[in-house]
Amino acid sequence: MLKKLLFIAAVAVVNPFTLLADEGMWLLPFLKQQNTESLKKLGLKLEVDDVYSPDEVSLKDAIVVFGKGCTGEIISDEGLILTNHHCGYSWIQQHSSVEHDYLTDGFWSYSKSEELPTPGLEVRVVDRIVDVTDSIKAAVAENGNPMIAYDLTFLDKMSKRLAGKEFIKENPFVEVVTKPFYGGNMFLMFYQTVYKDVRMVGTPPSSIGKFGYDTDNWMWPRHTGDFSLFRVYTDKDGKAAEYSPENIPMKPKHHLPISLKGVKQGDYSMTIGFPGTTNRYDISEEIIHYRDIVNAARIEMRGVRLEELNKLMQASDKVRIQYASKFASSSNYHKNAIGMNRGVKKLSVIDSKLKAESEYREWAYANNMPQYAEALDNMITALRNIYPIKYQRQMITEGLSTAVEFSKVPNADALIKAIESKDKEAIEKEVKAYKGAYEKFNNKDYDAEVDRIVSKAMIKKYLSMFPAEQRPDIFSFIDKKYKGDTDKFIDDCFNKSVFADSVKFNKFMEKPSAKVLKNDLMLKYANSIREKVRDLAFASKAYNRDLTLAKQVYIEGLLKMREGTPVYPDANFTIRLSAGQVQPYQPADAISYNYYTTMEGIMEKEDTTNYEFFVPAKLKEIWQTKDYGRYAEADGTMFVNFISSNDITGGNSGSPVINGNGELIGLAFDGNWEAMSGDIIFEPNMQRTISVDIRYVMLIIEKFAGALNIIDEIDFVE
C-alpha cells in the first residue's frame, strides 16, 4: 500500500531527494514511527507520545486553529489563548474606532468582565485524526470519476458518512474534515471541536505588535512584540457553545507552561501548528508559473493598490482604521512575492528542479515504470496550456476584482427574476436576502471614496497590460459610451449606482426595479468581471484536470522511488510538527546574524518621524530603568526576538515554539527574507523562523500593561 511507504518528495535545493535534519512539516500520527530518532537527536526530552497520542492527553491538545488562517496555543487552565498580533489584527480592528483606537493604543482587560466578545471569531481544537485512505479510494473507484477525490462536496459527504449520522447529530460543535495528502495518494480525516465564544483579552499597541511594520516585515534582525491574547468560553458543562454571558472560561485538556529559562544557541525548538500551503512537490514548470503568474500579479497589481491606500490611510484616522487589516494582508504577500521570486533566482531553484526531474525520468525508465515519466511530461503539457489563461485570470482577480471593491456588489439575478415574476411573496423573500448581502458588501470597513480613487488607478493599470480582445466586456461598453474614459465611468458608478451608498440603496429597495438593476453601472461592471472569470475558469478546466491526475501519478512515482524513507506531505492547513534548533545564520559574505535581538535594538531603530519605528513612552521608560523583572537574562539583557531552524510557512503564524521539556519559549511569527522561496524549497543554511521570546511577551503584559490578572493565571517554569 502506498500509505505504508512514508514518503519522500522533491524538497531539497541541491539534491531534491535528500532528507535534511531540520526540514519537515510532519504529520502527527506518524511521528513515532518516522521521527523518534531525529527528534531525540535534536534535543527532545519528552517521549514522542507526550507530543501526540491518539488516546491520551498530549501537547497537541494545547494547540488551536485561530480564526481562519493562524495558529494559537492555550496557556492557562482558563482557556487563555496566545497568538500573533497580526493574527488577531482583523479582530482588534473590528473592535476599534476613532474613539476606541485599539490598533494604536492597545487594549487590556483587567478582569474577565472587561473581555470583549468577538462575533465571528472561532477557535478549533483537533480531537482525533483517522486514516481513511482506503474508504475514500474505494468510493472514488465506485464513482468512476477520479477527480471527485479533490471535490470538497464529495469529501464533506464522505466525512459525514464515515463519522456517522448519530455522531454528527449529537455533536453539533464538532467539525469533521477529510483532506488529501501526497497529491491524493493518502486521505486523513480530522475531528475538530469548534469553539464560537471567543473574547479579546489583551493586545499591545501596534507600535509594539507591528514594530517595524512593512520595512521590517520578513526581515532579520527583528524587534517586534507580535502577540495578542484571547480567551475561549464554553457552556457551564464545559462544552463548546454559541456566545452567552452565562458561559464560563474553557477548561482545556492541556495548556502550555511558560519557561523563563530563556534560549541559547543550539537549544531544541519545536513548533506545532497549522501551516497553510507549501509547494515542494512542484516541478520546474509549476515554479515558473508561480513566479510569472501568481507572484507577478501580486507584485504589479498590489503595488499600485498599496500606494493609493497608504496615501489615503495616512490622511485619515477613519480610513486608517477601516483599511488597516486589508492593507496589512495585501502588503504581506506583496512583499512575500517579491522575496520569493528573488529566492527562486538566487538559489537556482528551477535548475535544481530540472536536474531532479531528469534523474526521476532516468529512474522511471530504468525500472520499467514509464508511466511515471509520462506523468511528468503530461504535467508540463497541461501547465503550458494553462499559462495564458491563468495569467489573464490572476491579473483580473488582483486588479479588477479584489482591489476594485465594488466588484463585490451582490449578484441580482434572483431578485430580478422575482421582480419580473410579480410574485409578491418571492419578491419579499429576495428583497430580504439581497439587503443582507448588500450589508456584507457595504460594511463598516468599506469607504466608497477610497474605492473610487483606488478603482481608477487599478483599472488604468490593468488596461495598460492587456489588449482589448482579452478584456472583460465592460470595457467595450466603456469604450462605446464613455469613449474609453474610465475615470468618468467610475465617477458615474459612484454618483449614479443604487449601490453607491446605503441611503440610496435602501430607498431603491422600497420599490425595486428590474430595469434599474439591469442598467446599474456597478452591477454591470461586477457581472462582467464575474462572467470573464467564469469563462477563463471553464477554458482551463480540462487542462487542470489533466494536471491534477498527472501529478497524482507523478507523486506516486516519487514515493516509490524513495520507498521506506520518511517524508512529509505538502502543507494544507492541517496540524504539523517542525523540529529544529535555535541557530544564527550568515546571509551573505562577511555578514553574520546573531540568533537573538534585544531591547537595545528597539531603541537603536527608534524614529520619531516614522510611525513604523515609534517607541511608546512607557516602553522607553522600562528600557531606561531596566525594569525587566524576572524576564531578563542573568546579565540584565532583555531578549526580544530569536531565530531557529524550524520549517514553517503561512498558517504557522502564532505557533508555539516549545523546548525539549514541552515548555513554551516563544511565539513564531515570520520567516526570513533570504529564504522567501521556502514554500518551494527548504534551504537549511538560510531558512529561519523568527519568534517573539516568550519573556518579552510576559514583560509587556506585566510591566507595560500592568495586567497582573493575566500573569497570575499562567504557570511559569523558572
Active-site amino acid positions: 86, 226, 653
| pLDDT confidence of residue 12 | 33
Helices (H), 347-423: 349-366, 370-396, 413-421
Mean pLDDT of 280-291: 95
Mean pLDDT of 17-34: 78
Cell numbers found for residue 169: 447529530
The DSSP letter of residue 401 is I
Does the pLDDT of residue 564 top 80, yes or no?
Answer: no
- Strand partners for 80: 231
The DSSP letter of residue 570 is P
Residue 213 lies in a domain: yes
Q: Range of 669's domain? A: 16-122+196-280+570-718
Do 392 and 539 sit in the same domain of this protein? yes
CA 113 to chain centre: 31
Residue 241 lies in a domain: yes
| Last residue within a domain, chosen from 491, 517, 548 | 548
Residue 144: CB atoms within 10 Å:
7
Do 540 and 593 sit in the same domain of this protein? no
- Residue 275, preceding peptide bond in cis (omega within 30° of 0): no
**Tens digits of residue pLDDT in 89-127:** 999 999 999 999 999 999 999 999 999 999 999 999 999
Do 647 and 590 sit in the same domain of this protein? yes
- Nearest-10 Cα torsion for 461, 466, 470, 472: 10
Residue 555: CB atoms within 10 Å:
24
Do 250 and 309 sit in the same domain of this protein? no
| pLDDT confidence of residue 11 | 35
Helices (H), 52-172: 85-95, 102-105, 133-143, 152-163, 165-170
477-497 core/surface letters (b: 16 or more CB in 10 A; e: else): ebeeebeeebeebbebbbeeb
Residue 170 lies in a domain: no
**Tens digits of residue pLDDT in 672-696:** 999 988 899 898 889 999 999 999 9
**Tens digits of residue pLDDT in 333-343:** 899 999 999 98
Do 87 and 213 sit in the same domain of this protein? yes
Does the pLDDT of residue 17 top 80, yes or no?
Answer: no
Do 254 and 369 sit in the same domain of this protein? no
Provide the 3-class DSSP secondary structure of residue 192: strand
pLDDT band at 15 (very low <50, low <70, confident <90, very high): very low
**Tens digits of residue pLDDT in 241-275:** 999 999 999 999 999 999 999 999 999 999 999 99
Return the half-sphere exposure (C-beta side, CA atoms, 13 A cut-off) of residue 526: 21
Do 37 and 85 sit in the same domain of this protein? yes
With CA atoms as reference, report the closest residue to 522 among 397, 446, 409. 409
**Tens digits of residue pLDDT in 156-188:** 999 999 999 999 999 999 999 999 999 999 999
Do 704 and 596 sit in the same domain of this protein? yes
Question: How big is the CA angle at 650 (ends 648 and 654), to the nearest 5 degrees?
Answer: 80
Residue 157 lies in a domain: no
Does the pLDDT of residue 192 top 90, yes or no?
Answer: yes
| Last residue within a domain, chosen from 513, 548, 583 | 548
**Tens digits of residue pLDDT in 384-429:** 999 999 999 999 999 999 999 999 999 999 999 999 999 999 999 9
Do 298 and 402 sit in the same domain of this protein? yes
Does the pLDDT of residue 559 top 50, yes or no?
Answer: yes
Cell 506583496 locates to 334
Return the half-sphere exposure (C-beta side, CA atoms, 13 A cut-off) of residue 695: 25
Angle between helices 370-396 and 521-561 (to 10 degrees): 160
Backbone angles phi, psi at 598, to 5 degrees: -135, 175
pLDDT band at 2 (very low <50, low <70, confident <90, very high): very low
Residue 396 lies in a domain: yes
Do 402 and 528 sit in the same domain of this protein? yes
| Last residue within a domain, chosen from 495, 518, 548 | 548
In total, the chain counts a number of residues equal to: 718
Average pLDDT score over the chain: 94
Contacts of 501 (CB under 8 A, 6+ apart): 442, 448
Cell 513548533 locates to 271
Contacts of 221 (CB under 8 A, 6+ apart): 593, 594, 597, 601, 641
pTM to 2 decimal places = 0.91
Residue 692 lies in a domain: yes
CATH of the domain at 238: 2.40.10.120
Do 260 and 309 sit in the same domain of this protein? no
| pLDDT confidence of residue 566 | 83
Report percent pLDDT > 90 for the chain: 93
pLDDT band at 567 (very low <50, low <70, confident <90, very high): confident
**From CA 38, how far away is CA 32, in angstroms rounded?**
10
Residue 592 lies in a domain: yes
**From CA 401, how far away is CA 172, in angstroms rounded?**
35
Do 532 and 580 sit in the same domain of this protein? no
Helices (H), 497-593: 502-510, 514-519, 521-561
In this structure, are strands 228-234 and 197-203 parallel, antiparallel, or unpaired?
A: antiparallel
Residue 150 lies in a domain: no
Please give the tally of structural domains in the chain.
2
